[in-house]
Amino acid sequence: MQTEGSAGRLGRWWFAGGEPRLSALDLSLIAGFLALLLAGAWFAEAFFTERNMSNLMRQVVANGLISLGMLLVILTGGIDLSVGSVVALGGVLFAGITDQLGIGPALAVAIAAGGAAGLVNGVVIARFKLQSFIITLATMGIVRGVVYLYTEVPLSPSHSGFRDLGATLIGLVPLSMIIMLGCYALVWFYLNRTPAGRATVAIGGNEETVRLAGVSVQRTVVAAYMLSGALSALSGAILVSRLGIAQPSLGIAYELDAIAACVIGGAALGGGAGSVGGTLFGVFTLGVINNLLNLVGVKSFYQDIVKGAVIILAVLLVATKRGNK
């Protein structure tokens, strides 16, 4: 249309397809995030230090990767509650075989194991048309059990490079953050520039339409769960590398933060809405809140309360703005 300005065109190009254009809603969420950063500078002197910024980036990577996988599943209209257990699976496997196989192969095995867990989720859910909530709740328990079968004690490999993945800094930026952003770029590309990705977005909007269009709904949904599993396992490997130790109890309740990040970023449970950019934004919002409350020295249960309140606020904001349109 003639009336459209060049800024509109740019936004349209950038967010083409399922990605929303920058709206009043996005702007108000961004404003909220900036206010959070200002609050950080005001209340905690240590917030804007180089050390803390590096720390913050390292801390958000774990949830960042899980949330990215969760987004894919939420876009199809499902939910993946098993991510926390898969984080533990990826973590203990990576720690358990690094000494024998070396970093690279161990990482590949861990990611493959996560992908396999996702494959099971996806096939059961898509093939038999079962509810993702129930199935992933069940696999959450199964995978956790498998993790404990593998090791009941924390693993801490002696391989000299074990901590590289989680601890290396390139300048101020952690290596893990670069990996995470790379994954975000890949998933963005997948969702916006591949047939399978467009089908993923479309399935959440109207599954029957996609089926009647001759697209394999099953294959697309299975891919989403596999990616979720693989990303969660990668997250687990990076996490144990950062911590230097792999606990079999790792990742409990991580699905909550991942779902929260997606929702703060505008994803709709049930599918049909959600974006990679928004999720990244949600991940950083949650990360900053955690980091700030730690710096200020607030007890952890207060942190949970604050986090919960922020989630409700963000969802409320999204709902009211959408309703006004």
Among 128, 153, 170, 195, interactor with another protein by CB under 8 A: 195
Binding mask 16-55 for another protein (x = CB under 8 A): xxx-------------------------------------
C-alpha 322/C-alpha 313 separation (Å) is 14
Kindly identify the residues of this chain, within the stretch 272-291, that bind another protein according to CB under 8 A. Answer: 272-273
Among 93, 103, 180, 202, binds another protein (CB under 8 A): 202
Q: How far is the CB of 161 from another protein (least distance, A)?
A: 33
209 belongs to the binding site for another protein (CB under 8 A)? yes
Query: By C-alpha distance, which of 1, 36, 70 is closest to 228?
Result: 70
Smallest distance from the beta carbon of 8 to another protein, in angstroms? 10
CB-facing half-sphere around the CA of 281: CA atoms within 13 A: 24
Nearer to another protein, 175 or 199 (CB): 199
Q: Quick one: which segment of 84-92, 110-118, 201-209, 234-242 binds another protein (CB under 8 A)?
A: 201-209
Q: Which residue has the tokens 């969660």?
A: 232
Fill in the amino acid letter for 147: V
Residues 6+ apart with CB under 8 A from 164: 103, 175, 241
Nearest approach in angstroms of CB 298 to another protein is 39
Comparison of 212 and 253: residue with beta carbon closer to another protein: 212
Q: Cα separation of 156 and 163, whole Å?
A: 10
- Tally of CA atoms within 13 A in the half-sphere of 283 that contains its CB: 29
Which segment (51-59, 84-92, 189-197, 235-243) binds another protein by CB under 8 A?
189-197
Q: Taking each helix axis from N to C terminus, what angle separates 83-101 and 132-150, rounded to the nearest 10 degrees?
A: 30
Pick from 230, 177, 286: which is nearest to 66 by CA? 230
Cα 52 from Cα 6, distance rounded (Å): 39
262 binds another protein (CB under 8 A): no
Q: Is 214 in the site for another protein (CB under 8 A)?
A: yes
Note whether 206 binds another protein by CB under 8 A.
yes
CA dist., res. 311 & res. 291, Å (int): 16
- Please choose, out of 62-70, 120-128, 138-146, 202-210, the segment that lies near another protein by the rule CB under 8 A: 202-210
307 binds another protein (CB under 8 A): no
